[in-house]
Amino acid sequence: MKQYIPLKERYYQEIVPKLLKEFNYSNIHQVPKLEKIVINMGVGEGSRNADLLDRHAKELSLITGQKPVITRAKKSISNFKIRKGMPVGLRVTLRGLNMWNFMYKLVNIVLPKVRDFRGLNPNSFDGRGNYSFGLTEQFVFSEISPDQSPRVQGMDIIIVTTAKTDREALRLLESFGMPFRQ
């Protein structure tokens, strides 16, 4: 049985040498690494229901271990009954130890719990080595109990890397154990 190595240590001990060899980098600092993870939760009804926004903020802070920032509408949209400055979502930017802990939890605990999961789409890279995907419900995180939550709420997760190309970023995330579709 393989000994447990935290994700950050595994990155430096196993992943960096593997990518160094695979992409023929001349310097260890050219190897792509995780920069930050951004979790965004759009709460459209939050502009009319402040209690709902507070509940989802508590859920997001339980999931990430960090207090979320309330995002506000940049302009008024009459069809959605939104005025400029109204709260419309929540956002958390993870760096450092929180980022590594969240990445480990995402790969090893959360994604295997997603119903009807067939792997992440390998085409969701932005052309600069950053990857984004969405989760349809917050209940896949063990910190959230369906009984205490007012409603199902999805979230977007953006993984920002220092990779120059999508191919490098794909190999980096595969090395972390992210399950991509074939």
CATH classification at residue 97: 3.30.1440.10
pLDDT digits (tens, 9 = 90+) for 121-145: 888 888 888 999 988 887 778 787 7
Grade residue 7 by pLDDT with cuts at 50, 70 and 90.
confident
Tell me whether residue 75 is in a domain. yes
**∠ at Cα 101 (98, 107), nearest 5°?**
135
> What is the pLDDT averaged over residues 51-68?
87
Question: Would you say residue 1 lies in a domain?
Answer: no
Cβ proximity of 157 and 146 under 8 Å: no
Cβ–Cβ < 8 Å for 119, 182: yes
Structural domain contains residue 147: yes
Total of domains in the chain = 1
Q: Is this structure's pTM higher than 0.75?
A: yes
155 in a structural domain: yes
Indicate the Cα dihedral angle 97, 110, 88, 149, nearest 10°.
-120
For residue 157, what are the domain limits? 7-176
Alpha carbon distance 38, 157 (integer Å): 6
The predicted pLDDT at position 46 comes to: 59
